[in-house]
Structure 1
């Protein structure tokens, strides 16, 4: 196996990792209630997914 002759500096290591960054998740609009949701997930507000009821939500008054 290869062994490094010298320690890789923090600067050199971080330059190599410049393209490792978080990106914003894709957001969409719920077709039932119009709330902003993360794509391909059940709506937190109404419990619908792709136009069908996926999760029963309790009504709190």
Structure 2
């Protein structure tokens, strides 16, 4: 197994790690109900995706 002969400098290590940062997920608003939702995902509030109703939610009667 290969081992480094010399130690890597701080700047070289940080250059390599510059791509390791976490990015926030893309969150948008549902055009139907205005609830925040993940992009390219079904809305959890109203069940709509791309302007069409995908899931029908049952209303709780109490």
TM-score past 0.5 threshold = yes
4+ runs of 1 displaced by more than 6 Å? none
* TM-score normalised by L of structure 1: 0.66
* TM-score normalised by L of structure 2: 0.65
Q: Structure 1: which 5+ runs fail to align?
A: none
Higher relative contact order (CA 8 A, sep 6+): 1
Question: Can you list the C-alpha shifts for 1:3-61, whole angstroms capped at 9, x where unaligned?
Answer: 445798xx786x33242121111121112111111110000001000110011212124
RMSD value, Cα: 2.6
Partner of residue 39, structure 2:
39
Separation in 2, partners of 1:30, 1:58: 20
Aligned residues: 59
